[in-house]
Amino acid sequence: MLIHQLKDRIPDFASDVRINLTSMLADETLPPKSKYGVLLAAAIATRNAKVIAAMESAAAAVMTPAALETAKSAASVMAMTNVYYRFVHLASNPEYKTMPARLRMNVIDNPGVDKADFALWSLAVSAINGCGACIDAHEKALQEAWLDASEIQTAVRFAAIVQSVAIAIEAASHDTGQTV
């Protein structure tokens, strides 16, 4: 599925989502590899097959196969770390903060792409998954890599738009009884 086909599936009740998707695609705040890595990682975080297919198709036009795999790695490892660190952050028992995570996360230190891109993709997924600890860690890494606040905010805005596209398409399928 292509992004324009995805856009056509967004129902009229979500016209703002359609407009945001269109403006997001025209936005050049981030370099193409960074932008499409955010879109792919965020799409994977939505767990919506149509959104994933559209974003992966678009990303494949500007990213190497290795970079595509790394965006998928960012989504996968953040699925794990977001759950764990969100628990540690939200649990009342402070003892959990002193315990080692014992989760393999080597890809974070050696992602195979620029570490700032990986952190940007991870930030987008962490925003969707609502992990404050991970958001803070990735934002700090991005600031240390000299990304400005508008670039960081753009990645999170793109994640929000991708998430809203998935929700709108799923809501429309429930209205019509179709599968997504």
pTM (global) more than 0.75:
yes
pLDDT in tens, the chain (180 residues): 799 899 999 999 999 999 999 999 999 999 999 999 999 999 999 999 999 999 999 999 999 999 999 999 999 999 999 999 999 999 999 999 999 999 998 888 888 899 999 999 999 999 999 999 999 999 999 999 999 999 999 999 999 999 999 999 999 887 655 554
Task: Let me know if 131 is a catalytic residue.
Answer: yes
Task: Let me know if 134 is a catalytic residue.
Answer: yes
Per-residue H/E/C for the chain: CCHHHHHHHCCHHHHHHHHHHHHHHHCCCCCHHHHHHHHHHHHHHHCCHHHHHHHHHHHHCCCCHHHHHHHHHHHHHHHHHHHHHHHHHHCCCHHHHHCCCCCCCHHHHCCCCCHHHHHHHHHHHHHHHCCHHHHHHHHHHHHHCCCCHHHHHHHHHHHHHHHHHHHHHHHHHHHHCCCC
Q: Domain of 47?
A: 3-176
Selecting among 52, 119, 127, 131, the annotated active-site residue is 131
Selecting among 78, 108, 120, 134, the annotated active-site residue is 134
CATH of the domain at 42: 1.20.1290.10
Work out how many domains the chain is built from and give that number.
1
